[in-house]
Amino acid sequence: MNQQRESRSAAAALPARRIDAHGRAHVDMRAVLALALPLVANSAVQVVLNLTDVWFIGRISTEALAAVGAVHWLVIVAGLLLSGVGMAVQTLAAQAHGARRYVRAAQAVWTAMWGVLFTTPLFLAVAFSGSLILAPFGVDPQIQRLAVEYWFPRLAGGPFGAAVWAMLGFFNGIGRPRISLTVSAVIALSNAVLNEIFIFRLDLGVAGAAWATTTAQAIGLALAFAIFLRAPVRRVYRSHLTWRLHGGRLWRQVRLGVPMGLLYAGDLIGISIFQIMQVRLGAADGAATQLVMMLTSLAYMPGMGIALAGTTLVGQSIGAGDRRWAMRVGNHVIALAAVVMGGIGLLLALAGPWLLPVFLAADDAQGAAALAVGTRILWLAAAYQFFDGLNLGSGLCLRGAGDATVPAVLVLVLSWAFFVPLAHSLTFAPGQGWFDILPQAGWGAVGGWTAVVVYVLLVGITLFLRWRSGAWQRITRG
């Protein structure tokens, strides 16, 4: 009898696992939600931060909104490519926590900090190269000038964002998402206050929005480090003793993290080029696309929070030595992310005519045109949210298993070889775009967003099939 109780106790110790009276294992959705809800709230804070930026920038002008739209995703892409070592922290922390190797979880954080330090010169080099990077896209000179003003402070502050992401990955990985929520809330509140100060009081305009974000991230990093080095964390994880650089460990973390960053960078490079296409059509189309992108984050960010719970649960299950359970709990997380995102997407499309005007200046001559375009494309954006849930849930569960290279290659091929050419063909009329090798439909923003729908559907299905194949179960990690 005692042996049976011990066996049941060990089984129930796996993350989100409940054993019923008959000894059968079930996924405890209450436990999944207990982990996911703070992560969803954390993502909701990110939504507030993004929408706050859009609201402040929209008060400057429609051109300013289009300019930020032109580089918004490129800024994130640059951060993903240069901070891959930090992307691996949540996976390593979750697997180490599941295996009860607590010191190893803290070492992943310090290894990421060393990686951020070494990549800081690269962040600065990219920050100074904004004009060169944007020049080939043929954007209106005034919009490009505003975009470069925003680009420099955002990329110069990139190391703060990379370091914050690594710190939050640690707390998420060990199942302490409420700490991540606290840090993100402080960043969001600081950003709102600093936007008002930098944009309008100091009259820095678009650049002020970027400096506000950079400064807010620095404040959040200081808070996260203070918590990381407090006595409760030090006692369990020895976070104050694991700071020394180990070259071999850094290289292994880079090899794991860079493909993780590349998975989402590859996707977002395609989205970035797509968004620049819309800006090339005109300020109204570019601003409408930026608005819809930000509004769909109301679906994306909760989905991201649920999917991040999948990274933790899958990683902890693998660390505890039960890959079958990792598959089972991952399936539930993926389904939850897809259903939630699909439902929110539908609500957004219905509420679009009331939401979009909030972010446009009432006296801007191009605001009415941006509103008309935005109302139409918001329905297209709503159409792909379910499959974006499959994309996020599957991709982040694969990350928890340490499966990053093959998914990154799959997404790169779909993004660059399929989506970008399709978006160009459907967006531009002959002679309007960058090249006329392919047939050009000239459907404008509606055409570009139609390409997004097809692309996200394919990415979601592809990554879900990769997850269901179970190939990640053969991965071993030291």
Alpha helices in 238-384, H assignment, sequence order:
247-281, 283-319, 323-355, 367-383
Instruction: Pull the structure tokens for residue 74.
Output: 């490129």
Q: Quote the distance between the C-alpha of residue 329 and its chain's center.
A: 22
Max avg pLDDT among 197-211, 288-302, 327-341: 327-341
Q: Is the pLDDT of residue 394 over 90?
A: yes
* Contact in structure between 378 and 352 (CB atoms under 8 Å): yes
Q: How far apart are CA 326 and CA 69, in angstroms?
A: 38
Residue 187 to residue 165: CA distance in whole angstroms? 12
* Residue 5 confidence (pLDDT): 43
Q: What is the mean pLDDT of residues 141-162?
A: 89
The span from the CA of 364 to the CA of 406, in Å, is 47
Q: What local confidence, expressed as pLDDT, does residue 364 receive?
A: 66
- Segment of 1-15, 70-84, 131-145, 422-436 carrying the highest mean pLDDT: 422-436
CB neighbour class for 232 (10 Å; exposed up to 12, middle 13-18, buried from 19): exposed
Phi/psi at 377 (5° precision): -75, -15
Whether 10 has a pLDDT exceeding 60, the answer reads no
Who wins on pLDDT, 14 or 423? 423
pLDDT the model gives residue 226: 96
Share of residues in the chain with pLDDT > 70 (%): 95
Within 10 angstroms of residue 18's Cβ, the number of other Cβ atoms is 15
Coil, helix or strand at residue 157: coil
The backbone torsions φ and ψ at residue 27, rounded to the nearest 5 degrees and listed phi first, read -75, 120
The one-character DSSP state at 428 is P
Q: Read off the pLDDT band of 7 (50, 70, 90).
A: very low
Average pLDDT, stretch 360-371?
A: 70
The pLDDT value recorded for residue 8 is: 40
| Helix or strand run (H / E) with residue 246 | none
- 473 Cα distance to chain centroid: 25
Which of the four pLDDT bands, split at 50, 70 and 90, describes residue 278?
confident
Comparison of pLDDT for 359 and 377, the residue scoring more: 377
- Hey, what are 267's tokens? 């996707």
% of residues, the chain, pLDDT over 90: 44
pLDDT, residue 300, reads 82
Question: 3-state DSSP: the chain helix, strand, coil percent, rounded to 5?
Answer: 85, 0, 15
pLDDT at res. 166: 93
CA distance 99 to 94: 9
Return the pLDDT at 451.
Answer: 94
More confidently predicted of 53 and 106: 106
Displacement of CA 300 from its chain's centroid (Å): 9
Most confident of the following: 67-71, 175-179, 289-293: 175-179
The CA distances from residue 370 to 61, 288, 373, in Å, are: 12, 5, 5
Does residue 352 sit in helix, strand or coil?
Answer: helix
Of 316-330, 362-376, 395-409, the least confident: 362-376
Q: Taking residues 405-409, report their average pLDDT.
A: 91
> Token match 């002959």: residue?
430
Which run of H or E residues covers position 26?
Answer: strand 25-27
Pairing mode, strands 25-27 and 17-19: antiparallel
Candidate from 25-29, 176-180, 214-218 with smallest mean pLDDT: 25-29
Average of per-residue pLDDT values in the chain: 86
Q: Which of 84-98, 183-197, 429-443, 449-463 has the lowest mean pLDDT?
A: 429-443
Region 193-198: what's the mean pLDDT?
92
CA–CA separation, 423 vs 371, rounded Å? 21
Q: Is the pLDDT of residue 402 over 50?
A: yes
Instruction: Quote the pLDDT of residue 4.
Output: 42
